[in-house]
Structure 1
Amino acid sequence: MRLILKCTGGFAGPAGAQTRTVDLAQLPPEQASQLEQLLQASSFFTLPPKLVKPAPKSWDFKYQLEVDDGAAAHCVVYHLDEASPPLKALTEKLNDEVEPD
């Protein structure tokens, strides 16, 4: 399973965009299992394509998470304020544990 997290926003705007790509098969089993559990807890493949604020500020961070498990692919664009707790936790874990591309 492959996850690609893109983040834009903040005061740097598009210039500060970061992308993190991770293939769960390449991670230690415990780390891969934690990410997969958060992904399942968020019901990621059933989320709508957008979970964004109705009136975002220009400095708000916007995330785009694309997940491909081989059988299906899904992409969600979201602000953390609109994300469920498991999706927030997944985003934070990816930001903390995966180096930007």
Structure 2
Amino acid sequence: MRLTLTCTGGFTGPAGAQKRTVDLAQLPAQQASELEHLLRASDFFALQPKLVKEAPKSWDFQYDLEVDDDGQSHCVRYHLDEAPPPLKQLTEKLNDEVAPD
């Protein structure tokens, strides 16, 4: 399973975009299991493609998470305030544990 998280926004806008890509098969088993658990708990493949604020502020970060899993692919664009708790936790873990590309 491959996860690609792109973060844009904040005061730097597109110039400050950060991308993190991780293949769960390349991680230690416990770390991969934790990330996969949060992904499944968010029911990621059933989420709407956009979970964004109606009127975002210029400093709000926007995330795009694309997941490819054994031929199944899905992408969700979201603000953390609109994300279900497991997706928010997954985003925070990816930001903390995976270095930018």
| 1:27 paired to 2:27 | yes
| 1:93 paired to 2:80 | no
What is the TM-score of this pair, normalised by structure 1?
0.99
| 1:57 paired to 2:52 | no
SS in 1 for 2:11: coil
1:69 match: 69
Structure 1 gap ranges (5+): none
1:60 CA displacement: 0.6
Q: Please provide the CA RMSD for this pair.
A: 0.5
1:47 CA displacement: 0.1
1:62 CA displacement: 0.1
One-letter code of the match for 1:55? A
Larger helix percent: 2
Q: Aligned equivalents of 1:22 and 1:37: distance in 2?
A: 15
What is the TM-score of this pair, normalised by structure 2?
0.99
